[in-house]
Chains A and B, each alone.
Chain A
Amino acid sequence: MRQTIALALIFVGIASLILFTSTDVFTLFARQHTFVNISFAGNDISCVDCHHRIQNELNNSAFHNDLSCEDCHRFTGTGITFASGDGASATPGKEAHAAYTPRCLDCHGGSGTWINGKFAPPAPAFNETDYGSDVSAHKPLVKQSLAFNLSVGENEACLACHTNYSINFEFKRPRYFVFTWNKSSGGFTLSNINYGDTNSTNVLKFGSGWKHEFKALNQIRCEDCHSDIWQAANHPEPNNNRSTKASHVCWKWNKGSSHQGNDPMHNVTYVYSEYGIGIYHYDNITEYCTLSCHKPRVNPSATIPDVFKETTHAAYRVSCYHCHNNTDYTNAFWNKPKNSWDTPRFTHSGGHDTIDDEALSQPLFLQAETCISCKRSGDRWGDGTYKTYTEPNNTMYYDSSQI
């Protein structure tokens, strides 16, 4: 007891002594009066101090990892006046203070831009007036991104493909199409066109989620966003034309030819090793999607379809009939599996007469269905009603019979 009282007295004594001798008032937020000297050239306030995470993202990025934060976020090419304390004077900001969120096209629009000794190339087609031609497959996404506030400008579209930001797509399409081919002496006509109810398909392009992790171009894969289309194109069901894999595209034109026959350009099996890697193949699905159809290599000295005279970004918005019509495009396209220039087959001359014109007058998403369904039913060359389901489904009917 006596010891406890002694300790208490000693404690009270020391506390009193501290209280008595302590005259300083401590600041609640230490260093809030230690200002950063911003009079040196350049940005003296480190962005990374508050944004380590973004620096880490850029360290893992295929692009822009050699740029400073200021290169992009204080880009002067837009006419924005940023605040600057360089030198003894100072420039107040106007449209922005320390930084702005750039539109990707601020640097990648127009003719491109030199930034800190590095060239930012223009984004083809999207750098043109009104984002270029309507045959650019992704133009609606880019253009319509302007209406949304997830990011500035068109950046939602850029980020979707070029970064590891995850995208959960919901694609809405008519569940199926119904149409009738009518054959007469004047040629073919389409009639009784009907559309099914709206069907939604969800596709998750999964990534780390970080918007400053830019992907290398060869890491951008069509099937990441369009796996539903790949599923429709690459299905194992046999059909009346003895094609084992053919829905979104038909790669087998002739009943009698083998899968390694004369028409390998659209052959989905050429992305599989078991069908001849080293002889006939595409390196991957994306190469197949682009080279075989949506961005083929065209022969500059040949006559090519009009759509391919336009500049586009990643892909063209085309159907079978843009190449397979009554015009002869001799040696117009590079057929990679054959490693030679190739000519679109079945120009629909003669018996096909007006079939391509008739199909091309329909909405784009219906055009290819008329071609594919006819091929899958066995090239019937006559009247008939078809019902074709849309991606990712690939079921088709001819006069109520599944084909």
Chain B
Amino acid sequence: MSVRNFLLILAIASVISFMMAQTASIFAGQHVWYNLSSGNDVGGQIPCEKCHADVAEEMSPFAPHTGETGYGRMECEFCHRTFWFEEADDVNQTIYNRYFYTYAQVNYESIGVQPGKEAHAASTIPCMYCHSGAEWGWYHSYTFTSKACNCHGTADTGSTGDWREYYYHGDRFFTGCAKDDPNCPVPATQDVPGECIKCHGTGDGSTHGPIYIPPAGGFGLTTNASDTGRNASHLSFVLSAIENEMMEDANEACIACHTKMRVEIWFNVTTEAKITVNNSYNRSYSYWDVEAITPSNYTTYKEVKGE
């Protein structure tokens, strides 16, 4: 290599080195922080979908939790961050109060910051946490179409006329703000929609409702006094699922039937009964007395759902 070429390469390298002031980061974006106080979606400022895109994709078909009220898919945190029920019979508190966790939370404009306790961002919760109430069906008149539920927001603790505190379910879900509410940021022009309607609709008829989350009645787990579950075929399945620790509460049973997850079921069934009868008698009468009917001769077979 000639001296001239060497000097040329050295000059180009020096220019590149001089021009390249930044150091390339191995993990791009790792210093771009999410603003936790930027929106009303408490607990939802961080997009779960970034890591759980497959789950989001699973929830895209029209089905429960994906927009049946007409206002879009429920947010991840609706289900994965439990919340307070103001009305005692909206959840079977005897069973499910223990799932009421304190999560890390930053409210809009940092009005209220709360460190997590039992969980930070999310937890898995029982389906029955939301589906163990007593009431179902419609509540509002069929003409109610507002997407803002601020009547409930002001009823919540800490609501003193500041629309930014219009939250329900224990300061969790933004209720929205109606255009005729003078506390709203844009009064008299348009409603600020709340999050309530994704679960509850507006109750305005057969398309946007019903208000109440349907209880999974028929297993004796809801707060409805008529829910005995005494005839339920799958009761033992549900009760066994509660005992099983693979998932929370009865979720194994709920998910087995209500989702398209593949399920392998091993049935152990009796194919024979032993019936013992005794021809009992006295001095004038004899009759067949059934002493015992017991199962015997079990066999096991496999069923696979979702194939």
Contacts and interface: CB of A to CB of B under 8 A. Distances in A.
Contact of A144 (B52, B59, B222, B289): B289
Contact of B233 (A81, A96, A166, A171): A96
A31 B277 contact: no
A31 B285 contact: no
Contacts of A100: 231-233
Interface residues of B, number: 83
A49 interface: yes
A34 B285 contact: no
A82 B230 CA distance: 12
Interface in B272-297: 272-279, 281-297
B188 interface: no
A171 B285 CA distance: 18
Nearest to B207: A88
Contacts of B282: 363
Interface string B47-80: 0001111110011011111101000000000000
A92 B260 contact: no
Nearest to A206: B272
Interface stretch (B33-41, B161-169, B174-182, B298-306): B298-306
Contacts of A25: 51-52, 54
Contact of A92 (B207, B217, B270): B217
Interface string A199-212: 00000000011100
A51 interface: yes
Contact of A97 (B229, B261, B270): B229
B236 to A, nearest CB: 11
B142 to A, nearest CB: 11
A156 B296 CA distance: 13
B43 interface: no
B248 interface: no
Which residue, A23, A37, A98, A167, has most C-beta atoms of chain B within 10 A? A98
Contacts, number: 251
Interface stretch (B8-16, B96-104, B208-216): B208-216
A306 interface: no
A37 B62 contact: yes
Interface string B168-198: 0000000000000000000000000000000
A169 B260 contact: no
Nearest to A360: B284
A29 B294 CA distance: 38
Contacts of A26: 54
Which DSSP category, helix, strand, loop or mixed, fits chain A's interface? loop
B303 to A, nearest CB: 5
B279 A97 contact: no
A174 B267 CA distance: 41
A363 B271 CA distance: 35
B252 to A, nearest CB: 10
Interface residues of A, number: 75
B209 A35 contact: no
Which residue, A25, A52, A93, A209, has most C-beta atoms of chain B within 10 A? A93
B259 A33 contact: yes
A8 interface: no
Which residue, A92, A94, A159, has most C-beta atoms of chain B within 10 A? A92
B84 interface: no
Contacts of B50: 23
A50 B284 contact: no
Contact of B276 (A170, A210, A362): A170
A92 B137 CA distance: 10
Contact of A168 (B55, B227, B273, B281): B273
A148 interface: yes
Given A89-B138, A89-B209, A24 B218 contact: no
B62 A165 contact: no
5 contacts: A26-B54, A36-B257, A80-B231, A89-B136, A156-B273
Interface of B: 50-55, 58-59, 61-66, 68, 136-138, 206-207, 209-210, 214-219, 222, 224, 226-234, 238, 255-263, 265, 267, 270-279, 281-297, 299, 301, 303, 305-306
